[in-house]
Amino acid sequence: MTTEMGNTRRNPKPYWNPYLAGVLLGLVLLASFVILGAGLGASGGIARIGASLSMCVAASHTLGSEYFGKWGAKPLNYYLVFMFVGTFVGALFSALLANRARIQVERGAAASVPHRLAYALAGGVIIGFASRLAQGCTSGQGLSGGALLLTGSLVFLVCLFASGYATAWFVRRQWHD
Amino acid sequence: MINTLYSLDALGSSRALFLALLVGFGFGFALERAGFSSSRRLAGVFYFTDMAVVKVMFSALITAMLGLSYMVGFGWMRLDQVFLMPTIYGAQIVGGLLFGVGFVMGAWCPGTAAAGLAAGRIDAFVFLAGTIGGSVLFNELFPVIRSLYTAGDRGTQMIYATVGMSRNGFTLAFTLAAVAAFWLSEWAEKARTGRGPYLGSPFLKAFSLALVVLAGGLFVLSPATAGASAKSAGAATVTATDETVLMEKVEQALDHIEPEELANRLMAGEPNLVVVDVRPAAEFNAFHIRGALNVPLAQLAAALQPYQNRGPIVLYSNGMTHPAQARDSLQRQGFGNVYMLTDGLQGFRDRCLTPVSLRPEPLTTVDAARVNAWRAFFAMPTASAKVGVATAPVSAAMPRVVETDWLAARLGTPGLKVIDLRPQPEYNTAHIPGSLSLNVESFRGNIGGVPSMLLPPPMLAAQFSLMGLQPLDTIVVVSGDKLYDTTLAGMAFERLGHMDYVVMNGGYAKWAQEGRAANAALPAVVESGYPARRDADDFTVDFRTVAAQLGKPGTVIIDVRPADFYTGKKSDEARAGHIPGALNRPFSEDVITSPDKAVTFKPIDALAAAYSQMIPSKDTEVIVHCRTGHQASQTVFVLKRLLGYSSVRWYDAGWTEWAARPELAIANETQDLTGRK
């Protein structure tokens, strides 16, 4: 039993053909459009978790604030929060099925853990801020809005890739082997 | 036809939350299958080592885009049943640029980080903690960056319209671009890593071909479905060429009417202008342009027959597609007077009905006044059927007067504030849960020697702040046995430009009588900083204005005091009688009091009939007064907010001041000047 586990751990199954995985993702998105009438989203759920933590720390300040305040006293009671939880569970299911779940810090062999985590944290803060500003992230604006052919979403996507490529060289070390 | 939860306004229901969880499950599963639980794989796109992001994302995007186009093409659903995010250039450009930096640094995005966390990636956990922090940071900085958040707001914009292409043309071009990106990605990966399993593979060729064929298929599908709908209206089949000609006309704006122009012409009461909403009844009932007819596409030609080749017929839906098809079909049947509303209902809302305070750019005083006039005119419910088509009950469209069940269904909604105007002991005993108690007299005071005047904006704003009201709140005012308390509060809201308030018909008495929820708890209130706008009150006038109107034809002065006070038979003021030429319409005639003291407005039809006897047209100058301004506020509300009179002003100081100024002329029973009756 132990050896079997060890074997499977060493041999995670390969990822799907990216195009077919993309088609599946597209069908999930289509289902979201048809059933919910709204696309996929992730940053909205995260922001509401942020609002709820902010409520725990300073309830009256949060309720009185202009942005979080309009989400009321129970910001978690929102479909995107549930979608975010679903995303985690769905990915967990897939990762376990393919023996891909493993505790690790993903980084280049030559990069240190703190180095990678510092970048992850900084990137997270920027993205948390940027996706509130743009009213969505890669899922909500890029993918969903793009599939709806919304001008602003496609402008967002173009800007995202443009600045990503412009910045990539400066932060490449975290992936050096 | 499928109804999405969004179109049913049910995204907050527990069923929607459960379905969102399921959709999320599929989302997470697909992301993980694609290998998006690996930050290294995600970052690879920026170094051309692993182009999975491009392959997966654009495969998904194109799949969903084509799927949706086919769903719409087959008539299974409509695009406006999906939440279409607004285009806000400033926010989305800056947001996109920042996001790119964050993406390449963190090597995660919010959705993939959830997948990464599930696959045990500690960096995903740290990233998510950062994202939460970034969201909180955004909230804290919001007052500073508010202008950026709305900078360049264009409402709902479709890319094909922005770049001047047809939807199908753009869809095909986009699909071709995605296929090209797939091949370039494979080529780049091969050049960089030596691996490129899909480059030139039969799979990629077949996949590319399938996408392009599906995109091309839309050209075949759309004319067919357009023909089908035209046939049902009894017309010939629409061909692709007509569609092209039509789109060209659309681009050149030959057959358009701009929202601002429509708004002005409607407000001016242009007699032969017919506005037609072609959306489904449920959406029409939720909101429509005031005075619009709701006609299903299939019945359009028959329903509009009486208006053929007379005044302009303006069609609208949420977007362009439906009215364009409808207009084409009408033209074939000999209608030469059909126009489309530029940018549809969304454009109308964005361009005419967005409050001045929410607009990205400051407006000139003239423009601001224009917007306020539009908002006042169009934000009003009216029964609007000319064609024998079923229409909404009066209070269904963006109501000014709401019923108890409307409030019951919305209690606890963020941004909804209920204000109870009953005497404090009654409030203390039991009230609508969460409601705030207010003595409406606290909004009034002595100004310049005249008692009981509505306080100036800073003092009202200070009180709003203490009650925790915010400019974007929807305020529901609930009265005891004096419905005119709610409208006096309404005058205070309007003085600060807070137009989003509604009156609950029947007051607390009706609520209690229906056995609805009540408690005695005081609500938790967070003090706000309500801005003291000074430019919103363009409706209060003083005695000079009234005196200047005396004897001028065209201005109607309405005295809403009880008849005995009007005639001078009774008096509790310096002089007995009324302003010369003023008509008497006691405020109490506009309401009905039930035996258990629930006061409701009379039906709109009855009110409309009564006032049409007194006031020649909807844009006649009207000045309303009573003794102190309190009762008059109710008549002002009825005229402006329920009946749509556009030029109604409020003489707050009223008979108290007029009677006490001996230089001002009065009339009474002995020397009456009869007005129009």
Distance CA B258, CA B253 (A): 9
Span B488-523, pLDDT tens digits: 999 999 999 888 888 999 999 999 999 999 999 999
Per DSSP, B516 falls in state -
> Of the given ranges (A65-69, A108-112, B341-345, B670-674), which has the lowest mean pLDDT?
B670-674
Q: Please tell me whether residues B321 and B448 are part of one structural domain.
A: no
Closest CB to A154: pick one of B33, B103, B159: B159
B1 belongs to a structural domain: no
Q: Please tell me whether residues B44 and B191 are part of one structural domain.
A: yes
A102 in B contact zone (CB under 8 Å) = yes
Span A80-92, pLDDT tens digits: 999 999 999 999 9
Domain ranges in chain A?
106-177
Q: Please tell me whether residues B500 and B560 are part of one structural domain.
A: no
Span B80-115, pLDDT tens digits: 788 889 899 999 999 999 999 999 999 999 999 999
Q: Please tell me whether residues B431 and B507 are part of one structural domain.
A: yes
Distance CA B325, CA A27 (A): 29
Q: Which of A9, A27, A28, A165 to mutate to test the interface with B (most CBs of B within 10 A)?
A: A28
Q: Please tell me whether residues B124 and B184 are part of one structural domain.
A: yes
Span B418-470, pLDDT tens digits: 999 999 999 999 999 999 999 999 999 999 899 999 999 999 999 999 999 98
pLDDT tier for residue B242 given thresholds of 50, 70 and 90: very low
Check whether B524 has a pLDDT greater than 60. Answer: yes
Closest CB to A31: pick one of B23, B141, B146: B23
Distance CA B510, CA B503 (A): 13
Cβ contact B20–A83 (<8 Å): yes
pLDDT of residue B66: 96
Residue numbers in B near A102 (CB within 8 A): 119-120
Cβ atoms of residues A142 and A160 within 8 Å: yes
Residue numbers in B near A56 (CB within 8 A): none
Cβ contact B137–A125 (<8 Å): yes
Chain A residue whose CA is closest to B466: A64
Q: Please tell me whether residues B50 and B189 are part of one structural domain.
A: yes
134-173 of A, contacting B, C-beta below 8 A: 134-168, 171-172
Mean pLDDT of the region B610-634: 93
Report the sign of the C-alpha dihedral through residues B572, B574, B576, B581, in that order. Answer: negative
pLDDT tier for residue B320 given thresholds of 50, 70 and 90: low
The runs of H, that is alpha helices, within B338-423 are 344-348, 365-378, 404-410
Cβ contact B110–A125 (<8 Å): no
Check whether B222 has a pLDDT greater than 80. Answer: no
Q: How far is CA A11 from the centre of its chain?
A: 26
Please, what is the average pLDDT of chain B? Answer: 84
CA distance B112 to chain A (A): 9
B230 belongs to a structural domain: no
B533 belongs to a structural domain: no
Q: Please tell me whether residues B251 and B148 are part of one structural domain.
A: no
Mean pLDDT of the region A143-161: 96
Cβ contact B91–A135 (<8 Å): yes
Name the domain boundary from B160, B191, B221: B221
Q: How many helices (H) and strands (E) does chain B have?
A: 26, 21
Q: How many helices (H) and strands (E) does chain A have?
A: 8, 0
Cβ contact B111–A87 (<8 Å): yes
- Triad B263, B269, B275: Cα angle to 5°: 60
Q: Please tell me whether residues B419 and B383 are part of one structural domain.
A: no
**Element of type H or E holding A169:** none
Q: Please tell me whether residues B286 and B160 are part of one structural domain.
A: no
State chain A's maximal CA–CA distance in angstroms.
57
Closest CB to A125: pick one of B58, B133, B413: B133
Beta bridge partners of B477: B419, B503
CA distance B345 to chain A (A): 17
pLDDT of residue A98: 94
Closest CB to A101: pick one of B91, B120, B159: B120
128-187 of B, contacting A, C-beta below 8 A: 128-143, 145-146, 148-149, 154, 156-162, 167, 170-171, 174, 182
Q: Please tell me whether residues B64 and B149 are part of one structural domain.
A: yes
The CA R_g of chain B, rounded to the nearest whole Å, is 30
pLDDT of residue B52: 94
Q: Looking at residue B488, which CATH number applies to its domain?
A: 3.40.250.10
- The set of residues, in sequence order, having a beta carbon less than 8 Å from that of A147 and lying 6+ positions away, is A26, A29, A33, A39, B60, B61, B62, B64, B65, B68
Q: What DSSP string runs through B63-105?
A: HHHHHHHHHHHTTS--GGGS--PPEEHHHHHHHHHHHHHHHHH
3-state SS string for B440-491:
HHHHEEEECCEEEEECCHHHHHHHHHHCCCCCCCEEEEECCCCCHHHHHHHH
Q: How many domains does chain B have?
A: 4
pLDDT of residue B675: 39
Check whether B672 has a pLDDT greater than 80. Answer: no
Q: Which domain holds residue B640?
A: 540-671
Q: How far is CA B407 from the centre of its chain?
A: 18
Among candidates B296, B233, B302, B307, which has minimal Cα distance to B270?
B307
Mean pLDDT of the region A132-158: 95
Closest CB to B24: pick one of A68, A87, A100: A87
Mean pLDDT of the region A152-164: 96
Q: Please tell me whether residues B190 and B302 are part of one structural domain.
A: no
Among candidates B381, B399, B633, B354, which has minimal Cα distance to B493?
B633
Cβ contact B5–A35 (<8 Å): yes
B164 belongs to a structural domain: yes
116-135 of A, contacting B, C-beta below 8 A: 116-117, 119-135
Among candidates A20, A15, A9, which has minimal Cα distance to A103?
A9
Closest CB to A147: pick one of B65, B132, B412: B65
Distance CA B289, CA B260 (A): 12
Span A28-57, pLDDT tens digits: 999 999 999 999 999 999 999 999 999 999
Among candidates B85, B154, B135, which has minimal Cα distance to A132?
B135
Q: Please tell me whether residues B427 and B483 are part of one structural domain.
A: yes
pLDDT of residue B391: 28
Cβ atoms of residues A13 and B37 within 8 Å: no
Closest CB to A91: pick one of B68, B115, B148: B115
Tokens of B456: 């100036």
A47 in B contact zone (CB under 8 Å) = yes
Cβ contact B55–A167 (<8 Å): no
Chain B residue whose CA is closest to A151: B159
Cβ contact A138–B113 (<8 Å): no
